[in-house]
Amino acid sequence: MKLAIDRALGEDIPIKMVYDLTATFAQQMQAEGVVATNKVSEALQKEYGLDEVQAGIVASAAASAFGGIGKAKGNSQPKIEQILKPEKNWETARNKALDLVGNLGADSKPVIGRLEVSTGNGKVIGRQSSDGKVGWRVASDPENQAMLVSGGLLVKDKTKAAISFMSRNTATATVKATEVGMQWEQENMKQGMLWEDYVGKSLPADARLPKNFKTFDYYDGATKTATSVKSMDTQTMAKLANPNQVYGSIKGKIDAAAKFKEYALSGRELTPSMIFNREIQLVIPADTTKTQWAEINRAIEYGKSQGVKVTVTQVK
C-alpha cells in the first residue's frame, strides 16, 4: 500500500500514515465490506493537515491498493475510450473525467494509481467496482491537460502483499502458557502479575520497582531502561468486535510512558534524567487476528514516534 501511495503522490509517505490507513480500511471492510474514501479523506485532513486534494489522492491511492484483496463477483467490465476537451488545470479535467467514470455502481470506490505504460505523467484516476477491479481509468497529459478515459484493470496481485505486510505477526517471541503460568481466562490483575514475574527473570534482581509504582514496573540502572509490563487479552468480545480498541489501549500505555515525569515510592525514585530508554513489554494471545495485528503494528509505529519501544510476545 505504501508503494501505491508513494507513486500517486510522487513522494515518501510517513509509515504511521500507512498503518493508520490500513487499520481504517481493514475495519471498514470487516464491518461494511466497502471502503468509504470520503471519510478517510476527511480524517487525513484533520489528522495530518493535508488539503482536500492531497487527502483525496492519498485516500484513493490507498483504496486502490487495499482493493486487491477483494473477491471477484463478476467479470463484466465496461470498454470505452474517450479524449476529453483540454481544461485550464488538471483538477478541472480530473473532476470531469470522474463524472464519466462514476457509473460503476453505488458500491464502487474511487482510486488513484499509475499506469504501467501511459503518456504524460501517468496519473490514473478511476473507480473501483465491488468485484475489486477497476473498469475505468483516467490518464492526464501534462501538456494540454487532456484526459484519456479507457477500460482496463489497475489492481494487481502485489497489493495483497502490501496488506499482508501491514497485518503481519511481529511478535518477537512465542512462549507456552505453562512457562508463564498464565491463562487468559484469569482476571487481568492476576495474569498481569504472572507476566510481570516472567519478564523480571531476564532483568537484574534489583530492577523491579515497588508494587503500585507509577507507569513503570522495572528500571535497569546499567542500561537506564524503564520498562512497563502489560498484558492484553485480544480475544474479548469487545476487542474482536472493535479492533481499534487494541490500538487505543496500547496508545494509552505509550502516552503514559512517554509523558512520565518523576515518581517515588517506598524509597525508590525515578526521574526523566535517569531514563535513556522507555520500553513496553506487551503479551497477547497467539490467536490474535490479522486485523488486530494491523492495529498493534500501527501502535508500534506510534510508539517509535514517541520514543517508546513496544515489544510484543505471544502466549499460546
Count the neighbouring beta carbons within 10 Å of the beta carbon of residue 95: 12
Residue 163's nearest CA partner among 24, 34, 303 is 24
Count the neighbouring beta carbons within 10 Å of the beta carbon of residue 11: 8
Contact between 231 and 252 under an 8 Å Cβ cutoff? The reply is: no
> Looking at the structure, do residues 249 and 159 belong to the same domain, yes or no?
no
> Looking at the structure, do residues 117 and 229 belong to the same domain, yes or no?
no
31, burial (CB in 10 Å: exposed 0-12, middle 13-18, buried 19+): exposed
Q: Would residue 164 show up in a list of annotated catalytic residues for this protein?
A: no
pLDDT of residue 74: 38
CATH number of the domain to which 260 belongs? 3.40.1350.110
Residue 221's nearest CA partner among 203, 201, 198, 196 is 203
% of residues, the chain, pLDDT over 70: 51
Q: Which of 166, 196, 220 is the last residue of a domain?
A: 166
> Looking at the structure, do residues 206 and 296 belong to the same domain, yes or no?
yes
> Looking at the structure, do residues 270 and 234 belong to the same domain, yes or no?
yes
Q: Which of 230, 239, 253, 279 is catalytic?
A: 230
Show contacts of 245-250: CB within 8 Å, 24+ apart. 246/292, 246/295, 246/296, 246/299, 247/23, 247/295, 247/296, 247/298, 247/299, 250/280, 250/282, 250/295, 250/296, 250/299, 250/303, 250/310
- Cα 24 to chain centroid distance, Å, stands at 7
> Looking at the structure, do residues 178 and 159 belong to the same domain, yes or no?
no
Kindly state the DSSP code that residue 152 receives in the 8-state scheme: -
Q: What is the pTM of this model?
A: 0.55
**Mean per-residue pLDDT of the chain:** 70
> Looking at the structure, do residues 103 and 243 belong to the same domain, yes or no?
no
10 — pLDDT class (breaks 50, 70, 90) = very low
Phi/psi of residue 114, each to 5°? -150, 130
pLDDT of residue 230: 96
pLDDT of residue 98: 52
pLDDT (tens digit, 9 = 90+) per residue, 42-55? 777 887 777 776 67
The alpha carbons of the chain give a radius of gyration, in whole angstroms, of 24
Q: Which of 151, 166, 181 is the last residue of a domain?
A: 166
Q: Give exposure, 275-292, as e/b (b: 16+ Cβ within 10 Å).
A: beebbbbbbbbeebbebb
> Looking at the structure, do residues 160 and 239 belong to the same domain, yes or no?
no
Q: Could you identify the residue written with the cell 510517513? A: 14
pLDDT of residue 53: 64
> Looking at the structure, do residues 189 and 157 belong to the same domain, yes or no?
no
Highest mean predicted confidence (pLDDT) among 76-90, 149-163, 277-291: 277-291
Q: Pick 183 or 145 by higher pLDDT.
A: 183
Q: Would residue 217 show up in a list of annotated catalytic residues for this protein?
A: yes
Structural domain for 212, as ranges: 173-315
Q: Which of 217, 231, 253, 279 is catalytic?
A: 217
> Looking at the structure, do residues 259 and 237 belong to the same domain, yes or no?
yes
Q: Is 70 exceeded by the pLDDT of residue 110?
A: no
Q: Which of 20, 131, 141, 196 is catalytic?
A: 196
Q: Would residue 196 show up in a list of annotated catalytic residues for this protein?
A: yes
Q: Which of 139, 166, 193 is the last residue of a domain?
A: 166
**Considering its fold, how many domains does the chain have in total?**
2
> Looking at the structure, do residues 189 and 213 belong to the same domain, yes or no?
yes
How far is residue 132's CA from residue 69's CA, in Å, rounded to a whole number? Answer: 7
Q: Considering only 27-31, 158-162, 228-232, which range has the smallest mean pLDDT?
A: 158-162
Q: Pick 216 or 29 by higher pLDDT.
A: 216
Q: Considering only 80-94, 128-142, 211-225, which range has the smallest mean pLDDT?
A: 128-142
pLDDT (tens digit, 9 = 90+) per residue, 122-180? 344 444 445 544 444 444 443 333 333 333 333 333 334 445 556 788 899 999 999 99
pLDDT of residue 242: 85
> Looking at the structure, do residues 177 and 253 belong to the same domain, yes or no?
yes
pLDDT of residue 285: 94
Q: Is 70 exceeded by the pLDDT of residue 2?
A: no
Q: Which of 60, 130, 228, 231 is catalytic?
A: 228
* Cell numbers placing 196: 510481570
pLDDT of residue 67: 47
> Looking at the structure, do residues 288 and 307 belong to the same domain, yes or no?
yes
Q: Is 50 exceeded by the pLDDT of residue 37?
A: yes
For the chain, how far is it from start to end, CA to CA, in angstroms?
A: 31
pLDDT of residue 227: 98
pLDDT of residue 148: 38
Q: Is 70 exceeded by the pLDDT of residue 19?
A: no
Q: Pick 101 or 198 by higher pLDDT.
A: 198
Helices (H), the chain: 2-9, 15-32, 37-48, 52-66, 90-100, 158-166, 177-180, 188-200, 237-241, 244-258, 290-305
pLDDT of residue 290: 85
Contact between 140 and 8 under an 8 Å Cβ cutoff? The reply is: no
